Structure 1
Amino acid sequence: MGSIHKVNDEYYVEFYARGLKYQQRAGRDLAAAEKLLQEIEAKIAKGEMATIVRDVDVDIFLSDFLEYARIQYPVRTWARYKSLTEHFHGFLQKRFPQLKKLSGVTPVVIEQYKEFLSKEEAWRKRKLKPHLVNLSLFLLAEVLEYSRKLGYLNDNPALHIRYLTAGQVRKPRIPTEEEMTRLFKAATIDFARVLEFVTLTGVTIEELIRLQWQDVNWTENCLEIKDTVLLKRSVPLTGRTIEILKNLQGSCYPQTPFIFVNERGQRQSVRYFADQLALLRADDKLGEKIAFLTLRHYFAHRLLRQNISLIVLNKLLGFLDVARILFYMEWVQDKQKDASASPLSL
Structure 2
Amino acid sequence: MFDELLDRFINFLRVEKGLSPNTLESYSRDLVGYLHFLEARGITEVLQTQTDTLYEYLKTLRSRDLSSRSQARALSALRSFYRFLQEEGLRTDNPLLPLQSPKPKRTLPKTLSGMEVESLLNQPRSNSPRGLRDAAMLEVLYAAGLRVSEIVSLTLDQLELETQLIRTVGKGSKERLIPISSLALRRLEEYLASGRKPLLQGRSSPYVFLNHRGRRLTRQGFWKILNQYSRQAGINRPISPHTLRHSFATHLLEGGADLRSIQTLLGHADISTTQIYTSVTSEHLREVYRRYHPRA
TM-score (norm 1): 0.43
Partner of 1:266: 215
Cα gap change, 1:179/1:220 in structure 2, threshold over 3 Å: closer, same or farther?
closer
Matching residue within 97, 114, 122 for 1:177: 114
Partner of 2:274, secondary structure, is helix
Partner of 1:261, secondary structure, is coil
Residue 180 (structure 2) pairs with residue 237 (structure 1): yes
Does structure 2 retain, via aligned residues, the 8 Å contact 1:202–1:300? yes
Residue 227 (structure 2) pairs with residue 278 (structure 1): yes
* Distance in 1 (alpha carbons) for counterparts of 2:149 and 2:192: 20
Letter in 2 for 1:225: T
Matching residue within 193, 200, 222 for 1:250: 193
Letter in 1 for 2:222: F
Letter in 2 for 1:177: G
After superposition, the CA RMSD in angstroms is 3.2
Partner of 1:200: 143
Residue 267 (structure 2) pairs with residue 330 (structure 1): no
Partner of 1:15: none
Partner of 2:263, secondary structure, is helix
Partner of 2:268: 319
Partner of 2:166, secondary structure, is strand
* Distance in 2 (alpha carbons) for counterparts of 1:331 and 1:216: 31
Cα gap change, 1:325/1:188 in structure 2, threshold over 3 Å: closer, same or farther?
same
Higher strand share: 1
Partner of 1:61: none
Unpaired runs of 5+ residues, structure 1, are 1-73, 77-167, 338-346
Partner of 1:227: 170
Paired residues for 1:58-97 under 5 Å: none
Cα gap change, 1:237/1:187 in structure 2, threshold over 3 Å: closer, same or farther?
closer
Letter in 2 for 1:311: R
Cα gap change, 1:306/1:182 in structure 2, threshold over 3 Å: closer, same or farther?
closer
Cα gap change, 1:282/1:238 in structure 2, threshold over 3 Å: closer, same or farther?
closer
Unpaired runs of 5+ residues, structure 2, are 1-16, 20-104, 287-296
Residue 294 (structure 2) pairs with residue 294 (structure 1): no
Partner of 2:227, secondary structure, is helix
Partner of 2:177, secondary structure, is strand
Q: Which has the larger radius of gyration?
A: 1
Which structure has more relative contact order (CA 8 Å, sep 6+)? It is 2
Cα-to-partner distance string for 1:112-132 (whole Å, 9 max, x where unaligned)? xxxxxxxxxxxxxxxxxxxxx
Cα-to-partner distance string for 1:255-308 (whole Å, 9 max, x where unaligned)? 321111123321111111111223344555523243211111121122213321
Paired residues for 1:2-151 under 5 Å: none
Higher helix share: 2
Does structure 2 retain, via aligned residues, the 8 Å contact 1:175–1:289? no
Partner of 2:153: 210
Does structure 2 retain, via aligned residues, the 8 Å contact 1:248–1:259? no
* Distance in 2 (alpha carbons) for counterparts of 1:201 and 1:231: 16
Partner of 1:70: none
Partner of 2:275, secondary structure, is helix
Partner of 2:176, secondary structure, is strand
State the 1:333 CA deviation: 5.3
State the 1:220 CA deviation: 3.5
Q: How many residues align?
A: 173
* Distance in 1 (alpha carbons) for counterparts of 2:218 and 2:263: 26
